[in-house]
Amino acid sequence: MGSESTLSAQKRPSGTLPTTGATANGGARGRAASLLPRGRQIQKTFNNIKITILCGFVTILVLRGTIGLGNLVSSDAEAENQHLVEETNRILAEIRSDKDPTDPDDQPEQFLDLNATFSLGPRISTWDEDRKVWLQKNPQFPNYVNGKPRILLVTGSPPNPCDNAIGDHYLLKSIKNKIDYCRIHGIEIVYNMAHLDKEMAGYWAKLPLIRRLMLSHPEVEWIWWMDSDALFTDMVFEIPSFKYKDYNMVIHGYPDLLFDQKSWIALNTGSFLFRNCQWSLDLLDVWAPMGPKGPIREETGKILTANLKGRPAFEADDQSALIYLLISQKDKWMNKVFVENSFYLHGFWEGLVDRYEEMIEKYHPGLGDERWPFVTHFVGCKPCGSYGDYPVERCLKSMERAFNFADNQVLNLYGFRHRGLVSPNIKRIRNETGTPLVNVDQFDIRHAVHQSGSKS
């Protein structure tokens, strides 16, 4: 009865009086009305009109809420786009859920227990000698080219689309940024999108990856791990590899934070270099066992939180584990670890992104330090995930700025720059010319680097 009444309420034009229950009682009501004085009739009519208006108004609200009257004027394109997005998500979920009964990734997880010993692979102990012999036999794959060591930049992201759609767009811009830097400086890139070792998921995934790449690319002298949320912002600066000839690891950090304060952020594993040698394999062998998912990672997390200053309580991460390792076994490792802070091999974004205009005004690319940071690293922004540590707006705008700040240095050769640090649009800064080679000599970064060595 209620719904019938609702339906009649919706259908009735607002000018007529509500007649709920009219069929049963219309006659009675009519008789009652004729018994009332005219004034009372008018008042009754007025009351009925008010009720009608009330119900009519409420009906309209309901219609808006259920069938979206407001949407009838929006474009078909919007509705179609929304449909497309939903369909795409459904298809992706289906693709991603393709279950393979032989696929251990589709089995319930089995964690290593605390007593188990984890290993990245069979122990290799003669890597330096083996590699040296191989390099001699393969002169077409030298580990030094034009006096510079061969560097392999390694980065990556998970194989599935980001939780937040915009994350994939920033991963794309991030890899474009790296492609530009590496093209200018003759560095090769590996972009990893595969989980090589289920137990070493998350941050720890870089360890088995680095080991595998070292052993598969003997021609590479340095493996340079760089997070996907780190951008190059000095396109001219080059790693001063001559500084590290007696070292096997180069990592950004502060010795006092490391040894005096034992801070959990004393070093940053978002951007570091690892020489392709036995020492590095050995370090990986003692670093990795702290990482396997499950009880090992959890228990290690507690130890790390107890021992490192400022560390929140959460499972072990590779950075804290490395810090703890280097503190605990200082004598064994530190003579080959260069803790670098004369330039921003890793530059925490918060103190840098608002100063780009000032940098443009006062300084120039090639400095790599706080005046013109080599790398701006968006720690905590997590555009690929759902939960960053900073407001989304601040992160996105800052990443746009960093990207464009860097892109301007690349576009300079081509005679363009971005209209503003937040604008995707570019404008000419040099007209097309009939003598383009003059500009090549003047503006190609590689020519500058080649002529003057490192521009620091």
Choose which of 199, 317, 340, 400 interacts with a second copy (CB under 8 A): 400
| Helix (H) or strand (E) segment spanning residue 230 | strand 230-232
Residue 145 Cβ, how far from a second copy at the closest point, in Å? 11
**Residues 168-197, interacting with a second copy (CB under 8 A):** 168-169, 171-173, 175-176, 179-180, 183, 188-191, 193-196
Instruction: Please report whether residue 381 would count as binding a second copy according to CB under 8 A.
Output: no
Choose which of 12, 112, 121, 327 interacts with a second copy (CB under 8 A): 121
431: left (phi over 0), alpha (psi -120 to 50) or beta: beta
CA dihedral over 309, 280, 213, 98, signed as positive or negative: negative
Distance (Å, whole) CA 350 – CA 376: 9
Choose which of 34, 117, 425, 452 interacts with a second copy (CB under 8 A): 425
Q: Which amino acid is at 259?
A: F
Shorter beta-carbon distance to a second copy: residue 92 or 114: 92
Half-sphere exposure of 406 toward its Cβ, with a 13 Å CA cutoff?
A: 30
Alpha helix (H) ranges present in 222-291? 255, 278-287
Residue 241 Cβ, how far from a second copy at the closest point, in Å? 19
Phi/psi of residue 230, nearest 5 degrees? -110, 130
**Residues 319-378, interacting with a second copy (CB under 8 A):** none
Q: Which amino acid is at 166?
A: I
Alpha helix (H) ranges present in 271-387? 278-287, 295-307, 318-328, 330-333, 356-362
Instruction: Please report whether residue 229 would count as binding a second copy according to CB under 8 A.
Output: no
| Pairing assessment for the beta strands 188-192 and 222-226 based on DSSP bridges | unpaired
Shorter beta-carbon distance to a second copy: residue 84 or 114: 84
Q: Looking at 20-28, 234-242, 263-271, 299-307, which segment touches a second copy (CB under 8 A)?
A: 20-28
Residues 155/224, Cβ–Cβ less than 8 Å: no
Shorter beta-carbon distance to a second copy: residue 212 or 336: 212
Choose which of 16, 216, 335, 342 interacts with a second copy (CB under 8 A): 216
Angle at Cα 54 formed by Cα 48 and Cα 56, nearest 5°?
100
Instruction: Please report whether residue 3 would count as binding a second copy according to CB under 8 A.
Output: yes
**Residues 250-279, interacting with a second copy (CB under 8 A):** none
Residue 428 has which token pair?
């000419």
Instruction: Please report whether residue 427 would count as binding a second copy according to CB under 8 A.
Output: yes
Distance (Å, whole) CA 266 – CA 268: 7
**Residues 86-105, interacting with a second copy (CB under 8 A):** 87-89, 91-92, 95-96, 98, 100, 103-105
Shorter beta-carbon distance to a second copy: residue 188 or 256: 188
Residue 299 Cβ, how far from a second copy at the closest point, in Å? 26
Instruction: Please report whether residue 165 would count as binding a second copy according to CB under 8 A.
Output: yes
Choose which of 71, 110, 362, 422 interacts with a second copy (CB under 8 A): 422
Surface-to-core class of residue 120, CB atoms within 10 Å of its CB (0-12 exposed, 13-18 middle, 19+ buried): buried
**Residues 22-51, interacting with a second copy (CB under 8 A):** 25, 28-29, 32, 35-36, 40, 43-44, 46-47, 50-51
Closest to 186 in 3D by CA, of 159, 210, 222: 222
The number of helices, as runs of H, and strands, as runs of E, in the chain is 16, 12
Residue 286 Cβ, how far from a second copy at the closest point, in Å? 17
Instruction: Please report whether residue 433 would count as binding a second copy according to CB under 8 A.
Output: yes
**Residues 49-78, interacting with a second copy (CB under 8 A):** 50-51, 53-55, 57-59, 61-62, 64-66, 77
Residue 451 has which token pair?
């002529």
Q: Looking at 154-162, 246-254, 284-292, 326-334, which segment touches a second copy (CB under 8 A)?
A: 154-162
Residue 310 Cβ, how far from a second copy at the closest point, in Å? 27
Residues 269/225, Cβ–Cβ less than 8 Å: yes
Shorter beta-carbon distance to a second copy: residue 90 or 362: 90
Instruction: Please report whether residue 242 would count as binding a second copy according to CB under 8 A.
Output: no
Surface-to-core class of residue 155, CB atoms within 10 Å of its CB (0-12 exposed, 13-18 middle, 19+ buried): buried
